Structure 1
């Protein structure tokens, strides 16, 4: 497979993102969005004009791009032009799409219990992982990155390191959830990662968590 060449412009953008402490996933997303814009433009993206930006946004609208995707691309382009290119004035020509507000789906206690009872095996790992999500309000990525030491049974707390916004926080640990975790620990005896993946030196991935969730829903 032919390796893609990193241009000086892309390298500069990568360096700008690293300087600002953006995580690897965010960096990859920004690069992907700017690459998409360059493909539309047919030339180097730093040569774009306000009319080019207008045409790009119109094309995304015609293509039926979701508000989420539209806004993610705009955020990336705002960084690219404002930081990497030093063309702050280009931000004036980029608009965000309003996203319709939807009420979250809240499951009843009975529905949550039924969902957890349907979590596939073998063992209790996925049941415990989904139980933390619903019982303590943790995101999938936060659950996957938990370590055994993060469960504080003395103070009935769960320590979440580098959660949303790269901030540490604490979540309440209920007695019923603690009992599920103790059953899981007695069964699997995890060390390091609370929910190890494959290989065990790595944590469970969010994709694996989602697969277990979708299987339980069916």
Structure 2
């Protein structure tokens, strides 16, 4: 049993290295993955299951039943299943297992309404969803990072040209509604995803290197990605990591604004980044953050 445990632990450590080195995920995302995997490993050891190849769909469902008993939400269970699917894809690649016990296990459907925004942990899992080893996966990762990092509209994302993006300066020129232009900023994570996609994924899709006038986001035939295709891409990855279907990419724009305001960003700065003509449009997000603060207060304060 001890040798089996050490083998299972070693496999988890190799998975961690894979997330850090190959997937190049942020430390926070890696910690989230390892926390979910650690819960499953701890349960396996308590059940006397000595290796990842010994888990079956029935045992996975037993574990899920315990999660339900603990009161975990459907959203949390869906997120954990997404982490375990990633884990077993890695194990299959490394010949650690012959098959995945997750294959016949369905992601729980969400009973709640589609959210207006996502929490930080959900976003990190969403950004880690695409396969970094394929051209389309690199495109999806760059697209999701872009939508969350900049808060741009879908139409603005598909209209983006290579020459509009200054990766070194981490800013881009956006052609917005009514012919209005504005600059948006993006962070290192989005810059890394864009760089890898433009250097590797983009040429693989287009059969040539990108020029300044070319669209940034391509379809599988090498043409410009459409609004509808962006919606399908976001929907597919949201369904995979959180169990939501038919979700609008606009949720990432809402999430961008909500997270900035939650962190204390100035309302007028957020207005400028979103490209809102009126401050009234941006003030919608302050209602969201106030409501969240109220819920935290009511839940946490002993005299509430």
Under a length normalisation based on structure 1, what TM-score does the superposition of the two structures give?
0.48
Computing the radius of gyration from Cα coordinates, the structure with the larger value is 1
